Amino acid sequence: MRTSKYLLSTLKETPNDAEIVSHQLMLRAGMIRKLASGLYTWLPTGLRVLQKVENIVREEMNNAGAVETLMPVVQPSELWHETGRWDKFGPELLRIADRHDRPFVLGPTHEEVITDMVRNEVKSYKQLPLNLYQIQTKFRDEVRPRFGVMRSREFIMKDAYSFHIDRESLEATYQDMHTAYCNIFSRMGLDFRPVLADSGAIGGSGSQEFHVLAESGEDLIAFSTESDYAANIEKAEALAPATDRAAPTQEMTLVDTPDAKTIAELVEQFDLAIEKTVKTLFVKASDESESPLIALIIRGDHELNEVKAENLPQVAAPLEFAGEEEIRALIGAGPGSLGPVNLKVPFIVDRSVAVMSDFGAGANIDGKHYFGINWGRDVALGQTEDLRNVTEGDPSPCGKGTLLLKRGIEVGHIFQLGKNYSESMKATVLGPDGKSVVMEMGCYGIGCTRVVAAAIEQNNDKYGIIWPDAIAPFEVAIVPMNMHKSERVQQAAEKLYSELKALGVDVLFDDRKERPGVMFSDMELIGVPHTIIIGDRSMDEGNFEYKNRRSGEKSPVAIDDVVAFIQQQLSQA
Amino acid sequence: MRTSKYLLSTLKETPNDAEIVSHQLMLRAGMIRKLASGLYTWLPTGLRVLQKVENIVREEMNNAGAVETLMPVVQPSELWHETGRWDKFGPELLRIADRHDRPFVLGPTHEEVITDMVRNEVKSYKQLPLNLYQIQTKFRDEVRPRFGVMRSREFIMKDAYSFHIDRESLEATYQDMHTAYCNIFSRMGLDFRPVLADSGAIGGSGSQEFHVLAESGEDLIAFSTESDYAANIEKAEALAPATDRAAPTQEMTLVDTPDAKTIAELVEQFDLAIEKTVKTLFVKASDESESPLIALIIRGDHELNEVKAENLPQVAAPLEFAGEEEIRALIGAGPGSLGPVNLKVPFIVDRSVAVMSDFGAGANIDGKHYFGINWGRDVALGQTEDLRNVTEGDPSPCGKGTLLLKRGIEVGHIFQLGKNYSESMKATVLGPDGKSVVMEMGCYGIGCTRVVAAAIEQNNDKYGIIWPDAIAPFEVAIVPMNMHKSERVQQAAEKLYSELKALGVDVLFDDRKERPGVMFSDMELIGVPHTIIIGDRSMDEGNFEYKNRRSGEKSPVAIDDVVAFIQQQLSQA
């Protein structure tokens, strides 16, 4: 490609409305342009990267035995009624009507459509297992689209759906997909981790996320220092403390705490250790519970894990915190003075709280706390659960090492759906014994457009993007200096361009009449991994100059060796 | 690909609701499935063909210097207001609202979005010409979707848009696109023709359609018997007859014709030559005309060309025929008795009518006609235009030969838009003299999903589809007979499958436990061009059997030569 026939569209200034570095760099490098909130046009440089991502995904899915299909973006509402998601899905599901006023949706995902297709086409267990995927445009009407293509409304996903006669077959394909995903992200040159993810009501070990590690990631991931264990913090188990509860050493006393509405104020004003305090949080109870609210008690220095809380049968899903008014009506005290002693609603305590002694908590009377509380003596302990987020240094749930926390960007998810969709949609096949069997299903997603942004979050510096070779918009840039004044430079540049193109190298030839500085900074900004600089001065010595984008190092390369040198650089990637 | 791991989904029966052969065969061959009216899922076999079509389009567009982009499916209404198409476009434009009730459309085309992008990104004539394309999902809310993917609501188009500093540059790119389109359809192995198309208000030779020839085509195309001239019948000029008008031989007489409401009845009842009659058609006049209606007069055996009529300045666009009531109110007679003599509204006569003499026409009195009408003597001739469809045998407008008519399916269109969009959207660049210039634009479409159906309309027989090699879902099928009983057959089939795969041949290995007859008819139905049949009997003689789908011929091929033989077959295509 010649820049003169291309739409480079780089920007010098960082656009004001871009908060994260990938969004800034995608705008500056001329990869995307905003059309409307959460809607982006992919300019040529962006699309080249996106297509390389898609092609790697496609090749590895095919290698893993998945078969490609393509389902419509626009889906009839009927199928969404069958699974109940027409009602359950929030306003992210964009509901539309056609000219005849028939209801449709813009597909945010395709479980309904694929399950409908497979129940019509697949009749016998002999046709299973079957793993079908597509790379297709999706739409989610995010209330606040942000971070460019990281959380846009229209985006491109690879979504695969597998169908099985039994759980064993599902688990085998799930493992194949795990391997395929590792191959995909490895080939892209990304530093990623498969991590255990919460699988909600379905349970089991049937859900893993793939995260690109980056400091800007929205998710926290817990790693073991001494094993392969990695889990989304949503999922990572906080083990029960290995130490037993210490015996009481204090009497329980009622203390006036009129100015201590928060744990921080309590600790500060009464010189308490924060590990000797608890937070009592009120959430809506599920229908299972007799009380409208339920209290969750965690240590003062811990954070509630909302996913763990929501998965408890007594707690309403989605999780909803009780308002002050509702709490006050039931308890007679506000949120700053709550605690387990004399509490009128059921409560669940975190494992770490269960081993506390001589601790402080609200007295369920405004402006008062109890200090020196001890379980059993002052209040019955009751139900104990894992309610909190793990923290760095916690023992790893795998039994080896302690936990480290890192940030990640979720780019893929593999999930054992079981019979979630196939049951409600009556997707059955005839089994070996001639009886009808509801199929087991798995689903496997990769956010192709999001991968592009995540790769940039992980690979950039102050000059721009640093693409891994496999997903770079161009592998090699040719930058001729003052080509329009030097016929020798021009001829050398044209010759190298032809030779590299003929070898199938993805090369950008910067043939603009621009100052070398402009050309260098554009090539750095868009992140071309390998640049060959052609100028009269180095040619006098029989050389071109090579610059590596990642290391920043420059070195002379003999003109006659340059093609072989480039081929060697590319094969090392 | 092994059929055992694939979703073949062929059907024995022809589905009832499929009217044309491509729709029937796409369903039977397991290429598509209907999700809802005008919405189709592409099953694996269909998608393989579609992707080959897309890849040929992409390669040739790239070769022609066009640069790929990707614009959103969902487009904000504001841009459509800028060009006025929000109001002008009919209900085919699906207007939707997001969660905040902001209006959007599902893009049926992307002129607005690309022009907006280019006006923002391109500032100088030095960045021109620029030809940007995408391969993207479109949506047109057809009132009656039909013929499968031939006229569906959701479909995939390649749409390109070029931007220029002047008309000359536009014309050069237009020619490049013409060449690229010829390359594209030639590479696909299709019998196609570029034909002149009506370009409406823009005029000139600035619009050509590309048609795949097929008897089922919706369009009629006029060809010269002695030159390359080809035009859509909408556009094909009917030359003025070379002969002069004959002198009158009859007096004009008023005749009672109470039972002759149509030309057919008139000709039948009064033994007239149909070439001696005219039809007088009333259409709504444009604002230019003082009369609300205008009459168009064509010979009794000719058909009105509605596009030619609509392009006349006196005629309202879109063309609208007047109703009987409206005509009667103005003329005092009904549609069966209209004619030029004593007509109270302006009329335009077709070129063929202008040379008629001694002809019959309605008398503008119910139940009466004039016979023996002669121009000049009985009524002034007035404005003469080309109003009719050409017919076979008409002289070709190119000056050489006569016209033949064939049916075609429009699969592509290239169009010199001029400043149609750039003017209303103020898409300007700075010209060489530093002054702002509105860009010239071209647009170039290919209906990728429609090409698949058109190719089938042109290439099928009673057994199924006959794919050209370049767009076949698989190039080669391996059909082993009774493989599950013969280890020798199985080993030979596995070996050939591995060898062909290693060479990059697109091969389908039918490893199902099915009777040979089922396998043969499936491979014929899905249209695999080359089949290798492996059986014990031919292996006893050291051979496999080769079958060519198109010729139907079978021939033995020595086992040792089969790979070279296949390579030779594929290179000939």
pLDDT string in tens for chain B (573-residue length):
999 999 999 999 988 889 999 999 999 999 999 999 999 999 999 999 999 999 999 999 999 999 999 999 999 999 999 999 999 899 999 999 999 999 999 999 999 999 999 999 999 999 999 999 999 999 999 999 999 999 999 999 999 999 999 999 999 999 999 999 999 999 999 999 999 998 765 444 589 999 999 998 999 999 999 999 999 999 999 999 999 999 999 999 999 999 998 999 999 999 999 999 999 999 999 988 889 999 999 999 999 999 999 999 999 988 999 999 999 999 999 999 999 999 999 999 999 999 999 999 999 999 999 999 999 999 999 899 999 999 999 999 999 999 999 999 999 999 999 999 999 999 999 999 999 999 999 999 999 999 999 999 999 999 999 999 999 999 999 999 999 899 999 999 999 999 999 999 999 999 999 999 999 999 999 999 999 999 999 999 999 999 999 999 999 999 999 999 999 999 876
Residue ranges making up the domain that contains A145 = 12-237+404-457
Q: Collect all residues of chain B within an 8 Å Cβ-Cβ radius of residue A48.
A: 68
Q: Collect all residues of chain A within an 8 Å Cβ-Cβ radius of residue B73.
A: 73, 137, 139, 154
Say whether B7 and A141 touch across the interface (CB within 8 A). Answer: no
Q: What chain B residue is nearest to A39 in terms of C-alpha separation?
A: B72
Instruction: Pick the residue of A6, A48, A51, A99 with the most B CBs within 10 A to test the interface with B by mutation.
Output: A99
What is the least distance, in Å, from the CA of B516 to any CA of chain A? 18
B338 and B378 in a single domain? The answer is yes
Say whether A35 and B94 touch across the interface (CB within 8 A). Answer: no
Instruction: Pick the residue of B35, B93, B125, B126 with the most A CBs within 10 A to test the interface with A by mutation.
Output: B35
Partner residue facing A71 (CB), from B41, B104, B117: B41
Partner residue facing A154 (CB), from B73, B141, B154: B73
Q: Collect all residues of chain A within an 8 Å Cβ-Cβ radius of residue B72.
A: 35-36, 39-41, 154
Say whether A121 and B154 touch across the interface (CB within 8 A). Answer: no
Instruction: Name the pairing type of β-strands B347-350 and B293-299.
Output: parallel
C-alpha A373/C-alpha B308 separation (Å) is 94
**B234 vs B198, B278, B304, B349, B444, CA distance in Å?**
6, 21, 10, 18, 19
Q: Which residues contact B467 (CB under 8 A, 6 or more apart)?
A: B49, B455, B459, B473, B527, B528, B529, B549
Comparing CA positions, the residue from B445, B443, B434 lying closest to residue B164 is: B443
Q: Which residues contact A530 (CB under 8 A, 6 or more apart)?
A: A475, A476, A477, A546, A547, A548, A549, A566, A569, A570
C-alpha B125/C-alpha B168 separation (Å) is 14
Instruction: Pick the residue of A1, A26, A41, A474 with the most B CBs within 10 A to test the interface with B by mutation.
Output: A41
* Residue B74: inside a domain: yes
Partner residue facing A41 (CB), from B1, B30, B72: B72
- The structure's pTM equals 0.93
B230 and B103 in a single domain? The answer is yes
C-alpha B452/C-alpha A430 separation (Å) is 34
Q: Collect all residues of chain A within an 8 Å Cβ-Cβ radius of residue B143.
A: 99
What is the least distance, in Å, from the CA of B391 to any CA of chain A? 38
Residue A517: alpha-carbon gap to chain centroid: 37
A86 and A211 in a single domain? The answer is yes
Q: What chain B residue is nearest to A31 in terms of C-alpha separation?
A: B69
B207 and B314 in a single domain? The answer is no
What is the least distance, in Å, from the CA of B67 to any CA of chain A? 7
* Residue B465: inside a domain: no
**Would you call A488 helix, strand, or coil by DSSP?**
helix
Q: Contact, A61 vs A68, CB < 8 A?
A: yes
Could you say which DSSP state residue A275 is in? G
Instruction: Pick the residue of A6, A48, A98 with the most B CBs within 10 A to test the interface with B by mutation.
Output: A98
For residue B165, what are its two tokens?
A: 């500093």
Domain CATH for A521 = 3.40.50.800
- What residue type is assigned to position A496 of the chain? L
Q: Collect all residues of chain B within an 8 Å Cβ-Cβ radius of residue A153.
A: 74, 98
* Residue B332: inside a domain: yes
B233 and B348 in a single domain? The answer is no
Partner residue facing A139 (CB), from B35, B71, B74: B74
**B41 vs A71, B147, B221, B299, B516, CA distance in Å?**
4, 15, 32, 48, 29
Domain CATH for A292 = 3.90.960.10
**How would you list the strands of the sheet with A103-106, edge to edge?**
A74-76, A103-106, A95-97
Partner residue facing A72 (CB), from B9, B35, B67: B35
Say whether B41 and A72 touch across the interface (CB within 8 A). Answer: yes
Residue A251: alpha-carbon gap to chain centroid: 48
Instruction: Pick the residue of A33, A49, A62, A69 with the most B CBs within 10 A to test the interface with B by mutation.
Output: A69
Which stretches of chain A score pLDDT less than 70? 200-205, 573
A91 and A199 in a single domain? The answer is yes
Partner residue facing A98 (CB), from B5, B9, B141: B141
Give exposure, A283-297, as e/b (b: 16+ Cβ within 10 Å).
Answer: bbbeeebeeebbbbb
C-alpha A395/C-alpha B105 separation (Å) is 54
B188 and B282 in a single domain? The answer is no
C-alpha B159/C-alpha B443 separation (Å) is 7
* Residue B497: inside a domain: yes
A321 and A436 in a single domain? The answer is no
**Would you call A364 helix, strand, or coil by DSSP?**
strand
What is the least distance, in Å, from the CA of B563 to any CA of chain A? 23
Residue B239: alpha-carbon gap to chain centroid: 25
C-alpha A523/C-alpha A516 separation (Å) is 11
Q: Contact, B522 vs B531, CB < 8 A?
A: no
Domain CATH for B212 = 3.30.930.10
Q: What is the pLDDT of residue A200?
A: 63
C-alpha A88/C-alpha B494 separation (Å) is 49
Q: What is the pLDDT of residue A16?
A: 86
Q: Collect all residues of chain A within an 8 Å Cβ-Cβ radius of residue B141.
A: 98-99
* Residue B396: inside a domain: no
CB pairs under 8 A between A and B: 146
Comparing CA positions, the residue from B488, B446, B503, B449 lying closest to residue B211 is: B446
**A371 vs A337, A355, A560, B208, CA distance in Å?**
12, 16, 82, 88
Say whether B47 and A40 touch across the interface (CB within 8 A). Answer: no
Say whether A41 and B106 touch across the interface (CB within 8 A). Answer: no
Q: What is the pLDDT of residue B201?
A: 52
N-terminal to C-terminal alpha carbon distance within chain A: 22
* Residue A391: inside a domain: no
Q: Contact, B223 vs B193, CB < 8 A?
A: yes
Q: Collect all residues of chain A within an 8 Å Cβ-Cβ radius of residue B132.
A: 7, 44
Q: At what angle do helices A487-502 and A562-572 cross, to 10 degrees?
A: 40
What is the least distance, in Å, from the CA of B395 to any CA of chain A? 44
Say how many C-beta atoms besides its own lie within 10 A of residue A435's C-beta.
9
Q: What is the pLDDT of residue B382?
A: 84
Say whether B154 and A74 touch across the interface (CB within 8 A). Answer: yes
A79 and A155 in a single domain? The answer is yes
Which residues share a beta bridge with A370? A254, A361
Q: Which of A338, A358, A385 is the last residue of a domain?
A: A385
For residue A500, what are its two tokens?
A: 């590299």
**Burial of B59 by CB count in 10 Å (0-12 exposed, 13-18 middle, 19+ buried)?**
middle
B377 and B416 in a single domain? The answer is no
Angle at the Cα of A275 from the Cα atoms of A273 and A278, rounded to 5 degrees: 110
The residue length of chain B stands at 573
Could you say which DSSP state residue B387 is in? -
For residue B570, what are its two tokens?
A: 């594929």
Instruction: Pick the residue of A39, A115, A117, A452 with the most B CBs within 10 A to test the interface with B by mutation.
Output: A39
Say whether A41 and B73 touch across the interface (CB within 8 A). Answer: no
| Total domains present in chain A | 3
- What residue type is assigned to position A495 of the chain? K
What is the least distance, in Å, from the CA of B515 to any CA of chain A? 16
Q: Contact, A50 vs A448, CB < 8 A?
A: yes
A157 and A95 in a single domain? The answer is yes
- The per-residue DSSP string of B267-320 comes to HHHHT--GGGBEEEEEEEB-TTSSSSEEEEEEETT--B-HHHHHTSTTB-SS--
Q: Which residues contact A121 (CB under 8 A, 6 or more apart)?
A: B7, B9, B30, B33, B43
- The per-residue DSSP string of A195-259 comes to EE---GGG-TT-EEEEEEE-TT-SEEEEEESSSS-EEETTT---PPPSSPPPPP-S--EEEE-TT
* Residue A55: inside a domain: yes
Partner residue facing A141 (CB), from B43, B98, B121: B98
C-alpha B395/C-alpha B239 separation (Å) is 7
C-alpha B10/C-alpha B18 separation (Å) is 15
Q: Collect all residues of chain A within an 8 Å Cβ-Cβ radius of residue B76.
A: 35-36, 39
Say whether B44 and A35 touch across the interface (CB within 8 A). Answer: no
**Burial of B431 by CB count in 10 Å (0-12 exposed, 13-18 middle, 19+ buried)?**
middle
Which residues share a beta bridge with A369? A255, A362
B327 and B291 in a single domain? The answer is yes
Partner residue facing B139 (CB), from A50, A74, A127: A74
Q: What is the pLDDT of residue A201?
A: 52
Q: What is the pLDDT of residue A203?
A: 46
* Residue B373: inside a domain: yes
C-alpha A146/C-alpha B289 separation (Å) is 55
